[in-house]
Amino acid sequence: MAVIDELKGVTVTIQVNGQEAVEYDDPDGFENDVNRKHATHRTFKYIESKDDTCFTVKYEVNHMHRWESPKSALSLYLYVDGKRMDSVVCEASRFNSFDPFYKWSTVVEGSRGSSRDPSYDRLSKFKFSQVTTVDDATKERVEGDSKKAKSLGVIEVFVYPLTITGPSYSSGHEHYRDNQNSSFNIAEKALKGRAVSHGTSFTDGGFVSKRKSVCAEYLNGGNPMACFMFKYRSRDALQKELIIPRSPSPEAIDELSEADIRRLAAERLDEINNGRRSGTVKLERKGPIIKREFAEIYDLTEEPAKREWKKIKIDANREAIDLTDD
């Protein structure tokens, strides 16, 4: 959940498929933001978006927020892709001394539109839709898509301080937009190198009860006291913008079949066993070679072979060994 230190007790959270989205700091947020509504305090985050996945925006105000008076209130305006989608009011009167830990909370599921029944609004739920690009675009299309892409992939919540001047009442809900799905086929040049991966489309959310309206006066010169900005991108786009590290390359073994893994393991085992056997054999270095006159070669390092010597009898029954015999 995103917080602003100067706006204690107020949090804004993006939920994707009902789960709180992981937030990543936007290191270039302040540098690149034009602060189009002159918000006093700002915070900038990235979240991961996925194709055809619904998302909601959750607001919470707890007892840590300090109200100026019982008539004080906060109005939270939601903009998606640069277009106003919703607004809701949190009144100080909800926080009373009977429950010092009371927490006001509401979830915005989509944009509201008029319906035939005066007691209900038609809800169009938010959904991430993939952006596709085209290379061969005309100059006119590039110019048009540039305006569209400027705020694409951005969720903004502006918080305005109010003073309640009149009672709540029921009224016809303002029709913010026609909630027709836009085309997210954008000229490549219009993105100007930005890794924008998704825009917001809509899916039917049925009918919901109308909200109460209030009479109020805007404070702070009519400017918001805070802006919460979330840029939503695919995981690949977050990696390209260096917001999150790239996934490590898979090990080569992950791409092998079980049969290949077994074969490689057997080959490696053979290498190990062969290495062990060769390690027990003593390598003998050959000594000098002596050549005899009749071209026989003897290795003087070899052990002499056992041979039967020729015995010759001499007188007195004595025997002699003939050493001249080959």
Using one digit for the tens of pLDDT, what is the confidence trace for 212-252?
A: 888 999 999 999 999 999 999 999 999 999 999 987 766 66
> Which tokens belong to 319?
């025997």
Cα distances (Å, whole numbers) of residue 250 to 240, 254, 265: 18, 7, 19
Predicted pLDDT at 106: 97
Using 50, 70 and 90 to split pLDDT, how confident is the model at 295? very low
- If you average pLDDT over residues 242-264, what whole number do you get? 77
Least confident of 77-81, 238-242, 267-271: 267-271
Asked if residue 320 has pLDDT above 90, the reply is: no
pTM of the model: 0.74
Least confident of 152-156, 259-263, 265-269, 279-283: 279-283
Predicted pLDDT at 196: 93
> Which tokens belong to 271?
């290498």
- The phi, psi pair for 149, rounded to 5°, reads -75, -15
Predicted pLDDT at 112: 94
Burial degree of 103 (CB within 10 A; 0-12, 13-18, 19+): middle
Predicted pLDDT at 283: 46
C-alpha angle 10-14-19 in degrees, rounded to nearest 5: 115
| Stronger pLDDT, 216 or 282, i.e. the higher one | 216
Can you point out the beta strands (E) in 210-325? 213-218, 226-233, 289-291, 297-299, 310-314, 318-322
- The phi, psi pair for 284, rounded to 5°, reads -100, 135
CB-based burial, 34-58: b 16+ in 10 Å, e otherwise? eeeeebbebbbbbbbbbeeebbbbb
| 226-233 vs 41-48, strand pairing mode | parallel
Question: CA 54 to CA 46: how far, in whole Å?
Answer: 17
Predicted pLDDT at 264: 81
Percentage above 70 pLDDT, the chain = 77
Asked if residue 186 has pLDDT above 60, the reply is: yes
Using one digit for the tens of pLDDT, what is the confidence trace for 158-168?
A: 999 999 998 77
- Domain coordinates in residue numbering, the chain: 2-240, 289-322
Predicted pLDDT at 137: 82
| Stronger pLDDT, 325 or 156, i.e. the higher one | 156
Edge-first strand order for the sheet with 120-130 is 110-114, 120-130, 198-209
| Stronger pLDDT, 200 or 135, i.e. the higher one | 200
Predicted pLDDT at 269: 84
Percentage above 90 pLDDT, the chain = 54
Region for residue 292 given its phi and psi (left: phi exceeds 0; alpha: psi -120 to 50; beta: otherwise)? beta
Using one digit for the tens of pLDDT, what is the confidence trace for 94-134?
A: 997 678 789 999 999 999 998 899 889 999 999 999 999 99
Q: What is the DSSP letter of 31?
A: H
> Which tokens belong to 69?
């008076």
Question: CA 60 to CA 1: how far, in whole Å?
Answer: 10
Across the chain, mean pLDDT equals 84
- If you average pLDDT over residues 26-33, what whole number do you get? 94
